[in-house]
Structure 1
């Protein structure tokens, strides 16, 4: 699979500074105001409705600390055709500062959004019709959606809360906290129409897959592993995920490698195994743009 990821750190920063130095050529204005705090989340989520009228956002009363299990985030949208009027939609107890509650429009829909929540002792996702208020609760959370809005994939948010604070959700402890590479944690696939929810790739499976050997430079003996940052390709035929580990032979370093897989997690392909890759996006169905470090 061809991959374009050849920029060094210096080249990437230089390129960014060049673009940042250009004067803006569009009007910029705030569409939310205090005293509450508003934000959205990551760059790969659909914040604007397809018709461009509504903008999704999240709202809280505090900053400067991590969310606690009892904290809720308010979800809403601004109507750009009505003075940026705030329209409340829902609340969630499954959120973080980095990515919120994964709030986003369902691909191709001007009326349905999806977001994560915590119900009892499990994380779920909810599809909400913003026009009539109807909700449908699905048995697992979402991270990345397929472009046809038929399925989604997600990592274990319980494990992320332990291994990568700021990206998981506080409220449900990781049952595999003391297991370096569990068999029953990994990437789940959720059918957004039927609600079928199943583990398609375990952490243990990736660790022992012969076709995905660790770079000799990064020994993972005794390390603790997890998955993060999933993204489905524009044609829906592949998804990216990051495999990370720390501890053991890796010491305090957090080592990262990128792989892709088919929608059912078959056809695993190691894209980058040099230990430092992040902040990626699909340029098209065959090319990935990403920040990556390379040895000299």
Structure 2
């Protein structure tokens, strides 16, 4: 972002609806100009009509021979109750090959899909709905066996035994477009800080879940104001640490009776001691991921500066800013190695989304791709969130990036060597 864009962004960034309206109006002035040419450092292999979703888990199998994907079955509109999303994977051998369908889901959105991810080497897990109940399905691709859990998932522990979860019904009410059009019985949306919902830990083997941190407990952590406590609180964006000892998550709250202004903080919880740690951020955290050294890179506000911040241990108290002001706009990160990551940007005034490689030690920033994001995919407030962020994800070797893009004019899942 240039200086003027950054000033305006800083004024409206805490109010998602106002921010979207101003962004859409600003970009419309540049619509009369010809589309910019797409750029990428290497050839992009893609399949139109497919996407994966969020950036925090990888669609690649451990050996990169398979690539998880969702197949869209509806036109460009918000998914409604009963709309089907096909679930499966591509065989991958120096390119995206044939699609193997393993099932269908009725619990999905454009940003996070159905939380499709690898549970173990040959097992895939994803969210689904049976009537009014949210569940998760497990598919073994080796013997085609299937089973289900009586609750949805958000993320999977490294050992594959545990999952993190929360109320997708509450999430959909308070952050439309990120939950599902099926409302669960733990949303308790009439309560602002309930003692009966929050962050849950599920056991895949026992098919049980327990509430490990309630919204009421969360509201007591730190120095929240009476105004904060009078908001509706919720949990989202949870991830296990690579050693499986912590769960990180975003704690958010919003006053739905007055404004869409959203407040966010990043926390971790030690699963053995149940001790919580709060990142020293100032009211804003958007996206984050772990590296294999139990460090977190998060786009967040520390002091009065929004930037990518590397939290160097799970207690979140030791940190350093990365590549600022070279990178001064929000993005979705994925680690290439412990010392480097890729991140995207939201579309700029010319509707071009950028993909960068960032070195945490040298703070060098390298442009990997610059791709069109056409206007028809622009989300419209308050709840038509059908945009396509790049959401880059890396394979385990660190040489292949997978991302979603609309630079061809259609939503597509893409793979590029970096």
Task: Answer yes or no: same fold by TM over 0.5.
Answer: yes
Instruction: Report if aligned partners of 1:68, 1:171 keep a CA contact under 8 Å in 2.
Output: no
Cα deviation, 1:225-281, whole Å, max 9, x if unaligned, reads: 111100111111111111111117984310001110022681111113410112111
Whole-angstrom CA distance in 2 between matches of 1:160 and 1:255:
14
Shift of 1:132: 2.5
Instruction: Report if aligned partners of 2:268, 2:277 keep a CA contact under 8 Å in 1.
Output: yes
Q: Could you say which residue in structure 2 is the equivalent of 1:4?
A: none
Q: Are 2:236 and 1:228 aligned?
A: yes
Q: Could you say which residue in structure 2 is the equivalent of 1:92?
A: 105
Higher relative contact order (CA 8 A, sep 6+): 2
Structure 1 unmatched runs, 5+: 1-8, 11-22
Q: Could you say which residue in structure 2 is the equivalent of 1:158?
A: 169
Cα deviation, 1:140-166, whole Å, max 9, x if unaligned, reads: 111111111110101211101101111
Cα deviation, 1:8-32, whole Å, max 9, x if unaligned, reads: x97xxxxxxxxxxxx85544212x2
Whole-angstrom CA distance in 1 between matches of 2:200 and 2:293:
22
Q: Are 2:66 and 1:54 aligned?
A: yes
Q: Could you say which residue in structure 2 is the equivalent of 1:29?
A: 45
Q: TM-score, normalised by structure 2?
A: 0.59
Change (3 A) 1:202 1:83: closer
Q: Could you say which residue in structure 2 is the equivalent of 1:270?
A: 278
Q: Which sits farther off after the overlay, 91-100 or 267-276?
A: 267-276
Shift of 1:99: 0.7
Q: Are 2:78 and 1:72 aligned?
A: no
Q: Which sits farther off after the overlay, 177-186 or 263-272?
A: 263-272
Shift of 1:203: 0.7
248, 252, 258: which is aligned to 1:240? 248
Q: Could you say which residue in structure 1 is the equivalent of 2:415?
A: none
Whole-angstrom CA distance in 2 between matches of 1:170 and 1:104:
21
Q: Are 2:144 and 1:144 aligned?
A: no
**SS, match of residue 220 in structure 1:** helix
Whole-angstrom CA distance in 1 between matches of 2:280 and 2:176:
24
Shift of 1:83: 6.6
Change (3 A) 1:88 1:98: same
Q: TM-score, normalised by structure 1?
A: 0.82
Instruction: Report if aligned partners of 1:222, 1:248 keep a CA contact under 8 Å in 2.
Output: no
Shift of 1:121: 2.4
Whole-angstrom CA distance in 2 between matches of 1:248 and 1:102:
26
Change (3 A) 1:171 1:73: same
Change (3 A) 1:270 1:168: same
Q: Which sits farther off after the overlay, 152-161 or 58-67?
A: 58-67
Q: Could you say which residue in structure 1 is the equivalent of 2:410?
A: none
**SS, match of residue 29 in structure 1:** strand
Shift of 1:169: 0.8
Aligned residues: 267
Change (3 A) 1:173 1:51: closer
**RMSD of aligned alpha carbons:** 2.5
Q: Which sits farther off after the overlay, 279-288 or 118-127?
A: 279-288
**SS, match of residue 169 in structure 2:** helix
Whole-angstrom CA distance in 1 between matches of 2:181 and 2:217:
26
Shift of 1:285: 4.0
Cα deviation, 1:192-251, whole Å, max 9, x if unaligned, reads: 122121222111111124xx222x6x9314211111100111111111111111117984
Whole-angstrom CA distance in 2 between matches of 1:173 and 1:76:
25
**SS, match of residue 169 in structure 1:** coil
Change (3 A) 1:285 1:266: farther
